[in-house]
Amino acid sequence: MPVLHASPTIEQFMEGVRRRNPGEAEFQQAVQEVAESIFPYIKDKPVYHEWEILRRIAEPDRVIMFRVCWEDDKGNIRVNRGYRVQNNNAIGPYKGGIRFHPSVTLSVLKFLAFEQTFKNSLTGLPMGGGKGGADFNPKGKSDNEVMNFCQSFMTELTRHVGEDTDVPAGDIGVGAREIGYMFGQYKRLTNKFVGVLTGKGMEFGGSPIRTEATGYGAVYMMEGMLKTKDQRVEGKTVAISGSGNVATYAAEKVLQLGGKVLTLSDSSGFVHAKNGISQEQLQWVMELKTVRRGRIDEAATAFGWDFVEGQKPWGVPCDLALPCATQNELDEDGAKALVANGCIAVAEGANMPSTIEAVQAFQKARILFAPGKAANAGGVAVSGLEMSQNSARITWKEEELQQLLRNIMQGIHDKCEEYGRVDDDYVDYVNGANIAGFVKVADAMIAYGVV
Ligand code: NDP
Ligand code: 2IT
């Protein structure tokens, strides 16, 4: 049985993390943010120190790295690097998305798998944390090239995943098309039709509202936060970054609730619609991004919006902000600009879009701020419900899933409030999410002993 030795300080703990994971800036950042919540919480709970719980969660169960060879349309052999990080399966099979983007590194996927462990715990569903991907750039590739890549990627991944082992889904650069190709390859190689992936098409085991769930869920989280201040989304101006799955469905929910969406972005810059974006215009952007795979400035040209090249939207005055593109896209200057312009609430649709300094700026200003692991958990939550439906070989009605998503987001909000309330006026949702996510995983790990 473990003995109580001197507990490390947070600095000593982080020094160890940095030594063991050199050069992995994103991973170190994600661990530090969580450690800053957990260390004060477990100060008077020695059992978590004795069992080295945080040290163990911050060491992935395993990391799989592999070569992905494929042939492009000109007959050239191309080589990419694929990964699956299986971080922790204390409370359920590994679960988390697959990202295809040239910026994918081991550090990025380790940070995402670590975050996913806490996020999945927060949903209340039985899912562990994992993440995978490749440094493959889908931009400019033909459908045939994307299919070749997905099939080759899945040929290796098939050995490591399974409906009770590890269940991947989409993320940046991986949507319905890629999930279809990967599911087809898994089925072909194993001769099994099982729920090994989520985010599938409705014809082959997908769940109603999985596509909308992350963006809608982020806005439900925002609603819950605003409610604590007797405020609503209706009538508020909203700055959103990104124009992919999360950003566009977050925008749709804002419109449904009577808010005004001022901005969207992609990696080339942001568009500013001074009078707000309409549902028809949003639909056009969705088609631009998922079918024609064009650039966001085309929307500015089509609708007479401003296009600001190479910039983020955080200088645009707004009441609410939803960063929904990628990690570290909102820095200290962006956060200060939002606060100075009167922004009252930020909910992260993306994973870790705010730098540590940006989060500190929001906390210092005591505005409402929900971290990604709470605010964007609606996507993986509906993925969890897709797994349940696949196991039972049934499909639930859309209205049921809509209600379940709302309930789960409400539950996440309430857990964050329970663990994160500082005083009558302020909830620290970062502490709340980290601690609430940690406790369930930690208690399961203690039950298993030293494994
Ligand atoms: P998409 O691929 O659908 O969209 C990504 C968007 O972000 C695009 O607008 C893209 O622009 C932009 N973007 C991506 N990388 C960068 C970059 N390095 N710099 C600037 N802009 C960038 O992905 P999702 O909408 O699915 O994911 C967005 C975020 O949400 C990610 O952080 C993801 O991890 C997170 N998330 C996603 C969930 C899901 O269910 N899909 C669930 C929970 C979180 P461009 O078109 O130019 O590449
Ligand atoms: O970051 C995330 O939560 C996702 N990309 C979704 C994961 C999932 O398994 O649905």
Task: In the chain, list all ranges with CATH 3.40.50.720.
Answer: 212-370
pLDDT at 7: 80
pLDDT digits (tens, 9 = 90+) for 168-216: 999 999 999 999 999 999 999 999 999 999 999 999 999 999 999 999 9
CA 170 to ligand 2: nearest atom:
5
pLDDT at 244: 98
* Residues with a known catalytic role: 131
* 151 CA from centroid of ligand 1 (Å): 22
Does the beta carbon of 380 lie inside 6 Å of ligand 2?
yes
CA distance linking residue 78 with residue 36, whole number of Å = 42
pLDDT at 6: 72
Whether residue 162 is predicted with pLDDT greater than 90 in this model: the reply is yes
**Number of other residues whose CB lies within 10 A of the CB of residue 333:** 15
- Tell the residue nearest (CA) to atom 15 of ligand 1: 326
Handedness of CA 354, 356, 360, 366 (dihedral sign): positive
CB neighbour class for 130 (10 Å; exposed up to 12, middle 13-18, buried from 19): buried
Domain 212-370 sits in CATH at 3.40.50.720
CA distance linking residue 227 with residue 344, whole number of Å = 12
pLDDT at 341: 98
Task: In the chain, list all ranges with CATH 3.40.50.10860.
Answer: 62-193
Query: How confident is residue 3, by pLDDT bands cut at 50, 70 and 90?
Result: low
Calculate mean pLDDT across residues 237-258. Answer: 98
Calculate mean pLDDT across residues 291-319. Answer: 98
Only one residue has tokens 């910039």, namely 311
CA distance linking residue 362 with residue 378, whole number of Å = 23
pLDDT digits (tens, 9 = 90+) for 65-109: 999 999 999 999 999 999 999 999 999 999 999 999 999 999 999
pLDDT at 320: 99
pLDDT at 56: 98
* 241 CA from centroid of ligand 1 (Å): 9
Calculate mean pLDDT across residues 429-444. Answer: 98
pLDDT digits (tens, 9 = 90+) for 19-75: 999 999 999 999 999 999 999 999 999 999 999 999 999 999 999 999 999 999 999
Calculate mean pLDDT across residues 252-274. Answer: 98
CATH for 62-193, options being 3.40.50.10860, 3.40.50.2000, 3.40.50.720, 3.30.565.10: 3.40.50.10860
The rounded mean pLDDT for the chain is 97
* 11 CA from centroid of ligand 2 (Å): 31
- Tell the residue nearest (CA) to atom 30 of ligand 1: 350
CA-nearest of 180, 128, 172 to 154 is 180
Angle at which helices 377-392 and 210-227 cross, to 10°: 130
pLDDT at 5: 64
pLDDT digits (tens, 9 = 90+) for 375-404: 999 999 999 999 999 999 999 999 999 999
Does the beta carbon of 241 lie inside 6 Å of ligand 2?
no
